[in-house]
Amino acid sequence: MKHLFKFSVLASRRASALAFSVISMTVYAAPAATPPAPDLDLTIQYYSKIMTPEGVLRESRYEEKMLRRPSHVWVARVLPAVALAHQEGHDEHQPQAKRAGDKNVKQVSLKTESHEHKHFNHVVVPHHVILDNNKVRIEFVDAIEKQVVTIPAAEFENVNFDGSWVNAYYLLDPEQLKTLPLSTKLSTVPGARWRERETNGVYQRVLWDEKRQIPLVVETGDKAGSFYRRIDVKPLATVSKDLPWANVKGFAQKEYSDFLD
Protein backbone atom coordinates (compact mmCIF):
# COMPACT_ATOMS: atom_id res chain seq x y z
CA MET A 1 0.00 0.00 0.00
CA LYS A 2 3.00 2.30 -0.30
CA HIS A 3 1.59 4.16 -3.31
CA LEU A 4 -1.87 4.61 -1.81
CA PHE A 5 -0.50 6.29 1.28
CA LYS A 6 2.04 8.40 -0.51
CA PHE A 7 -0.16 11.32 0.52
CA SER A 8 0.52 10.58 4.16
CA VAL A 9 4.25 10.38 3.61
CA LEU A 10 4.30 13.66 1.71
CA ALA A 11 2.17 15.27 4.38
CA SER A 12 4.66 14.35 7.09
CA ARG A 13 7.50 15.71 4.97
CA ARG A 14 5.59 18.96 4.59
CA ALA A 15 5.79 19.42 8.36
CA SER A 16 9.35 20.63 7.77
CA ALA A 17 8.82 22.20 4.34
CA LEU A 18 6.10 22.79 1.67
CA ALA A 19 4.73 24.94 -1.13
CA PHE A 20 4.23 26.55 -5.73
CA SER A 21 3.35 30.61 -11.65
CA VAL A 22 2.17 30.56 -15.05
CA ILE A 23 5.15 30.34 -17.32
CA SER A 24 6.23 27.59 -19.65
CA MET A 25 7.95 24.73 -17.85
CA THR A 26 8.63 21.02 -18.04
CA VAL A 27 5.49 19.16 -16.96
CA TYR A 28 4.36 15.71 -15.94
CA ALA A 29 1.58 13.91 -17.76
CA ALA A 30 -1.73 13.45 -15.96
CA PRO A 31 -3.63 10.15 -15.93
CA ALA A 32 -6.02 9.53 -18.80
CA ALA A 33 -9.17 9.52 -16.64
CA THR A 34 -10.19 10.25 -13.06
CA PRO A 35 -13.58 10.02 -11.31
CA PRO A 36 -15.86 13.10 -11.44
CA ALA A 37 -15.74 15.17 -8.28
CA PRO A 38 -17.48 18.29 -6.95
CA ASP A 39 -15.87 21.64 -6.17
CA LEU A 40 -14.69 21.78 -2.56
CA ASP A 41 -13.23 24.15 0.01
CA LEU A 42 -11.44 22.14 2.68
CA THR A 43 -9.72 22.48 6.03
CA ILE A 44 -7.01 19.83 6.42
CA GLN A 45 -5.37 19.05 9.76
CA TYR A 46 -2.17 16.99 9.96
CA TYR A 47 -0.86 15.20 13.02
CA SER A 48 2.14 12.89 13.42
CA LYS A 49 3.82 11.19 16.35
CA ILE A 50 7.10 9.29 16.16
CA MET A 51 9.09 7.55 18.89
CA THR A 52 12.80 7.73 18.11
CA PRO A 53 15.30 4.94 18.93
CA GLU A 54 16.58 7.27 21.68
CA GLY A 55 13.18 7.23 23.35
CA VAL A 56 12.25 10.75 22.31
CA LEU A 57 8.61 11.29 21.37
CA ARG A 58 8.27 13.81 18.57
CA GLU A 59 4.91 15.27 17.66
CA SER A 60 3.90 17.72 14.96
CA ARG A 61 0.61 19.22 13.86
CA TYR A 62 -0.41 21.88 11.36
CA GLU A 63 -3.35 22.96 9.24
CA GLU A 64 -3.95 23.89 5.61
CA LYS A 65 -6.77 25.35 3.55
CA MET A 66 -7.46 23.79 0.15
CA LEU A 67 -9.63 24.85 -2.77
CA ARG A 68 -10.50 22.22 -5.40
CA ARG A 69 -11.92 23.29 -8.75
CA PRO A 70 -11.82 21.77 -12.26
CA SER A 71 -8.16 21.77 -13.32
CA HIS A 72 -7.09 23.76 -10.24
CA VAL A 73 -5.95 22.94 -6.71
CA TRP A 74 -4.92 25.70 -4.30
CA VAL A 75 -3.31 24.98 -0.92
CA ALA A 76 -2.32 27.51 1.76
CA ARG A 77 -0.71 26.83 5.14
CA VAL A 78 -2.55 28.23 8.17
CA LEU A 79 0.00 30.01 10.34
CA PRO A 80 -0.56 30.68 14.05
CA ALA A 81 0.06 34.16 15.45
CA VAL A 82 3.51 33.30 16.80
CA ALA A 83 4.66 32.09 13.37
CA LEU A 84 3.23 35.19 11.71
CA ALA A 85 5.06 37.40 14.19
CA HIS A 86 8.32 35.61 13.40
CA GLN A 87 7.80 36.00 9.66
CA GLU A 88 6.85 39.65 10.00
CA GLY A 89 10.00 40.24 12.04
CA HIS A 90 11.98 39.24 8.97
CA ASP A 91 9.73 41.11 6.55
CA GLU A 92 8.99 44.32 8.44
CA HIS A 93 10.73 46.31 5.69
CA GLN A 94 8.21 44.98 3.19
CA PRO A 95 4.85 46.72 2.55
CA GLN A 96 1.86 44.84 3.89
CA ALA A 97 -0.47 43.50 1.23
CA LYS A 98 -3.52 41.29 1.20
CA ARG A 99 -2.86 37.79 -0.04
CA ALA A 100 -4.48 36.55 -3.21
CA GLY A 101 -6.49 33.82 -1.57
CA ASP A 102 -8.23 32.89 1.66
CA LYS A 103 -9.17 36.12 3.45
CA ASN A 104 -8.93 34.32 6.81
CA VAL A 105 -5.36 33.13 6.35
CA LYS A 106 -2.69 35.78 6.51
CA GLN A 107 -0.01 35.54 3.85
CA VAL A 108 3.71 35.84 4.39
CA SER A 109 6.38 36.67 1.89
CA LEU A 110 8.83 34.43 0.11
CA LYS A 111 11.51 36.80 1.35
CA THR A 112 12.39 35.54 4.82
CA GLU A 113 15.74 37.28 5.16
CA SER A 114 16.17 41.00 5.68
CA HIS A 115 19.23 41.29 3.48
CA GLU A 116 19.37 41.35 -0.29
CA HIS A 117 19.35 37.61 -0.90
CA LYS A 118 15.83 36.22 -1.35
CA HIS A 119 15.21 32.85 0.22
CA PHE A 120 12.43 30.73 -1.27
CA ASN A 121 10.38 29.36 1.61
CA HIS A 122 7.95 26.98 -0.03
CA VAL A 123 6.35 25.97 3.27
CA VAL A 124 4.53 29.20 4.03
CA VAL A 125 3.56 30.39 0.54
CA PRO A 126 0.36 29.13 -1.16
CA HIS A 127 0.85 26.73 -4.02
CA HIS A 128 -1.30 26.26 -7.10
CA VAL A 129 -1.44 22.99 -9.06
CA ILE A 130 -2.83 23.26 -12.58
CA LEU A 131 -3.98 20.62 -15.05
CA ASP A 132 -3.50 22.15 -18.50
CA ASN A 133 -4.03 20.09 -21.67
CA ASN A 134 -3.57 16.92 -19.62
CA LYS A 135 -0.26 18.20 -18.25
CA VAL A 136 0.46 19.11 -14.64
CA ARG A 137 2.08 22.40 -13.67
CA ILE A 138 2.80 23.90 -10.28
CA GLU A 139 3.43 27.45 -9.08
CA PHE A 140 3.82 29.39 -5.84
CA VAL A 141 1.95 32.68 -5.48
CA ASP A 142 3.41 35.33 -3.18
CA ALA A 143 0.94 38.21 -2.90
CA ILE A 144 3.17 40.35 -0.69
CA GLU A 145 6.08 40.27 -3.12
CA LYS A 146 3.53 40.23 -5.95
CA GLN A 147 5.23 37.41 -7.79
CA VAL A 148 4.48 33.97 -9.16
CA VAL A 149 7.25 31.38 -9.03
CA THR A 150 7.33 28.46 -11.45
CA ILE A 151 8.79 25.12 -10.44
CA PRO A 152 10.32 22.99 -13.22
CA ALA A 153 9.61 19.28 -13.08
CA ALA A 154 13.23 18.55 -12.24
CA GLU A 155 12.76 20.50 -8.99
CA PHE A 156 9.37 19.08 -7.94
CA GLU A 157 10.94 16.94 -5.23
CA ASN A 158 12.62 19.99 -3.69
CA VAL A 159 9.18 21.45 -2.94
CA ASN A 160 7.68 18.11 -1.87
CA PHE A 161 5.49 17.74 -4.95
CA ASP A 162 5.25 14.28 -6.51
CA GLY A 163 3.97 15.48 -9.90
CA SER A 164 0.66 13.63 -9.54
CA TRP A 165 -2.56 15.45 -10.43
CA VAL A 166 -4.62 12.66 -8.87
CA ASN A 167 -2.84 12.95 -5.52
CA ALA A 168 -3.21 16.73 -5.55
CA TYR A 169 -6.90 16.69 -6.54
CA TYR A 170 -8.19 13.72 -4.51
CA LEU A 171 -5.45 13.68 -1.82
CA LEU A 172 -4.98 10.01 -2.61
CA ASP A 173 -5.58 7.84 -5.68
CA PRO A 174 -9.22 6.61 -5.77
CA GLU A 175 -8.25 3.60 -7.88
CA GLN A 176 -5.52 2.57 -5.45
CA LEU A 177 -7.97 3.09 -2.60
CA LYS A 178 -10.14 0.31 -4.01
CA THR A 179 -7.37 -2.17 -3.21
CA LEU A 180 -7.92 -1.42 0.49
CA PRO A 181 -10.62 -3.77 1.88
CA LEU A 182 -13.87 -2.35 3.21
CA SER A 183 -13.97 -2.25 7.01
CA THR A 184 -16.67 -3.42 9.40
CA LYS A 185 -16.19 -0.14 11.24
CA LEU A 186 -19.29 2.02 10.86
CA SER A 187 -19.13 5.61 9.68
CA THR A 188 -21.24 8.39 11.18
CA VAL A 189 -20.95 10.38 7.94
CA PRO A 190 -23.65 9.59 5.34
CA GLY A 191 -22.10 8.30 2.13
CA ALA A 192 -18.68 7.70 3.68
CA ARG A 193 -17.17 4.25 4.26
CA TRP A 194 -14.13 3.04 6.13
CA ARG A 195 -11.46 0.96 4.44
CA GLU A 196 -8.57 -0.57 6.34
CA ARG A 197 -5.80 -3.12 6.36
CA GLU A 198 -3.31 -4.37 8.92
CA THR A 199 -0.11 -6.17 7.93
CA ASN A 200 2.62 -7.22 10.35
CA GLY A 201 1.35 -4.86 13.00
CA VAL A 202 1.13 -1.84 10.69
CA TYR A 203 -2.36 -0.52 10.01
CA GLN A 204 -3.80 1.77 7.35
CA ARG A 205 -7.28 3.27 7.54
CA VAL A 206 -9.22 5.62 5.28
CA LEU A 207 -12.68 7.12 5.69
CA TRP A 208 -13.65 7.88 2.08
CA ASP A 209 -16.55 10.15 1.12
CA GLU A 210 -18.03 8.69 -2.06
CA LYS A 211 -20.15 11.74 -2.86
CA ARG A 212 -17.41 14.32 -2.42
CA GLN A 213 -14.65 12.02 -3.71
CA ILE A 214 -12.27 12.93 -0.90
CA PRO A 215 -10.87 11.18 2.18
CA LEU A 216 -12.23 12.53 5.47
CA VAL A 217 -9.71 10.66 7.62
CA VAL A 218 -6.41 8.99 6.76
CA GLU A 219 -4.59 7.06 9.49
CA THR A 220 -1.38 5.06 9.46
CA GLY A 221 0.51 3.63 12.41
CA ASP A 222 1.79 0.52 14.11
CA LYS A 223 0.52 -1.48 17.05
CA ALA A 224 3.83 -0.98 18.88
CA GLY A 225 3.19 2.76 19.00
CA SER A 226 6.45 3.75 17.34
CA PHE A 227 4.66 6.00 14.83
CA TYR A 228 1.22 7.37 14.08
CA ARG A 229 -0.02 9.77 11.41
CA ARG A 230 -3.51 11.16 11.01
CA ILE A 231 -5.04 13.55 8.49
CA ASP A 232 -8.49 15.02 9.10
CA VAL A 233 -10.26 16.63 6.15
CA LYS A 234 -13.27 18.88 6.76
CA PRO A 235 -15.31 20.06 3.73
CA LEU A 236 -16.76 23.53 4.26
CA ALA A 237 -20.47 24.09 3.79
CA THR A 238 -19.99 26.53 0.91
CA VAL A 239 -17.33 27.13 -1.74
CA SER A 240 -15.62 30.47 -2.27
CA LYS A 241 -16.33 32.49 -5.38
CA ASP A 242 -13.03 34.32 -4.92
CA LEU A 243 -10.44 32.22 -6.76
CA PRO A 244 -6.94 33.22 -5.64
CA TRP A 245 -5.21 32.15 -8.85
CA ALA A 246 -7.34 34.71 -10.71
CA ASN A 247 -5.93 37.56 -8.60
CA VAL A 248 -2.38 37.61 -9.96
CA LYS A 249 -2.70 40.24 -12.70
CA GLY A 250 0.48 42.32 -12.85
CA PHE A 251 2.48 39.91 -10.68
CA ALA A 252 6.12 39.40 -11.64
CA GLN A 253 6.91 36.03 -13.18
CA LYS A 254 9.82 34.28 -11.46
CA GLU A 255 11.54 30.95 -11.89
CA TYR A 256 12.78 28.59 -9.21
CA SER A 257 16.37 29.15 -10.37
CA ASP A 258 16.05 32.85 -9.41
CA PHE A 259 16.22 31.83 -5.77
CA LEU A 260 19.19 29.49 -6.02
CA ASP A 261 22.65 30.59 -4.87
- Does residue 180 contact residue 206 with C-beta atoms inside 8 Å? yes
Whether residue 135 is contained in a domain is answered as: yes
- CA distance to 26, 51, 94, 114, 186, per residue, from 168 (Å): 18, 29, 32, 33, 27
| Closest C-alpha to 198, from 216, 181, 186 | 181
**Residues of the chain with pLDDT > 90: what percent?**
61
Q: Report how far residue 3's alpha carbon sits from residue 100's, in angstroms, rounded to the nearest whole number.
A: 33
pLDDT tens string 46-97: 999 999 999 999 999 999 999 999 999 999 999 887 766 656 555 554 444 4
The pLDDT of residue 179 is above 80: yes
Whether residue 206 is contained in a domain is answered as: no
pLDDT tens string 110-153: 554 444 446 778 888 999 999 999 999 999 999 888 999 999 99
What pLDDT sits at residue 121? Answer: 83
Whether residue 90 is contained in a domain is answered as: yes
Query: Which residues, including other chains, have CB under 8 Å from residue 110's CB and lie 6 or more apart?
Result: 118, 119, 120, 121, 125, 140, 142, 145, 147, 149, 259
Query: Which residues, including other chains, have CB under 8 Å from residue 206's CB and lie 6 or more apart?
Result: 172, 177, 180, 194, 195, 196, 215, 217, 218, 219
For residue 154, give the 3-state DSSP assignment: helix
What pLDDT sits at residue 113? Answer: 44
Report the number of secondary-structure helices (H) and strands (E) in the chain.
Answer: 4, 12
Rounded to an integer, the average pLDDT of 147-162 is 91
Whether residue 211 is contained in a domain is answered as: no
What pLDDT sits at residue 25? Answer: 32
Query: Which residues, including other chains, have CB under 8 Å from residue 12's CB and lie 6 or more apart?
Result: 46, 48, 60, 229
State the sign of the Cα–Cα–Cα–Cα dihedral 89, 261, 21, 145: positive
SS (H, E, C) 41-94: EEEEEEEEEEECCCCCEEEEEEEEEEEEECCEEEEEEECCHHHHHHHHHHCCCC
Q: Identify the band that residue 109 occupies on the pLDDT scale cut at 50, 70 and 90.
A: low
Helix, strand, coil percentages (3-state) for the chain, rounded to 5, are 15, 35, 50
Whether residue 137 is contained in a domain is answered as: yes
pLDDT tens string 12-27: 443 333 222 222 233 4
Q: Report how far residue 110's alpha carbon sits from residue 128's, in angstroms, rounded to the nearest whole number.
A: 15
Whether residue 13 is contained in a domain is answered as: yes
Tally of domains in the chain: 1
Q: How many CA atoms lie within 13 A of 117 on its CB side?
A: 5
The pLDDT of residue 108 is above 60: no
Whether residue 126 is contained in a domain is answered as: yes
What pLDDT sits at residue 106? Answer: 52
| One-letter amino acid for residue 252 of the chain | A
The pLDDT of residue 208 is above 50: yes
Q: Which of 98-112, 133-147, 157-171 has the lowest mean pLDDT?
A: 98-112
pTM: 0.77
Domain carrying residue 105: 6-170+236-259
What pLDDT sits at residue 213? Answer: 97
Q: Which of 50-59, 108-117, 211-220, 250-259 has the lowest mean pLDDT?
A: 108-117
